[in-house]
Amino acid sequence: MHVELLTYTPDADKIVASAAKLCYAKSDIDTLMEGLTPEKTESFLDVLSDLGHQSPVEHASFTFGIEGVSRALLAQLTRHRIASYSVQSQRYVSKCNFEYIVPPAIADIPEAKAEFIKAMEEDAAHYESLRSTLTAAHTARLIAEGKDEKSAAKAAEKMANEDARFVLPNACDTRIIMTMNVRSLYNFFRLRCCNRAQWEIRALACEMLRLVKGVAPNLFKNAGPSCVCGTCSEGAYSCGQAAQMRKKFGEL
């Protein structure tokens, strides 16, 4: 897994603090940013946190580049609907010799790992065979319909990808660019940094949180699973490690 913070709202802390100031003080737009020292900015952010007033944090957003993750992760990630996603297409991009993600629990057991790799190799072989068969059939049909050979072959390859991808596994790798505002990130971290979250998306969430803390520490100082700044939301399913989690995310 590789995650990069590609871009983010400049002076995110200050933008959010100015939005909060607008809500609670008699300031006009021209003078809104005046007097927002680092200390006062942090104070406004603390007030927002204490009040649970989160609409001002929606004015700041962060964009991530993500690769080396599975399509299984993508299915979970896009459940977070207040976000923007661009995903590598399996229709326009050939997945011949695709890379795949091996779950740690499988990697730790030699017999399971061997079975998993065998399954990936079989899937790859089926994909390439289907793609080749479909490309040839579509090319012949398009030429018969009057297309020149080069145009027919190009169109046929895309059509073949479209259907051959149905045999690709959830483990198949993908690449994503994702943008979320801070409020959505709070929710994402609360759910996905939790020990109860699936291992791959938890690893992604923790790395994203580490990156945003590096550039906007005041905005994200209380971010993390629900136990970090409150009580565990998992009820009877709690991992029972709230103290360890608070220490972990305090040091992230």
Catalytic machinery residues: 192
**For 223, phi and psi rounded to 5 degrees?**
-80, 155
Neighbours of 110 (CB within 10 A): 8
DSSP 8-state assignment for residue 30: G
Tokens of 106: 């499988």
Tokens 């933008």, residue located: 15
Find out whether 171 and 102 touch, Cβ atoms under 8 Å. Answer: yes
Spatial separation of the C-alpha atoms in residues 105 and 119, rounded to whole Å: 16
The partner residues of 32 in beta bridges, in order of sequence, read none
The amino acid at 214: G
Spatial separation of the C-alpha atoms in residues 136 and 132, rounded to whole Å: 6
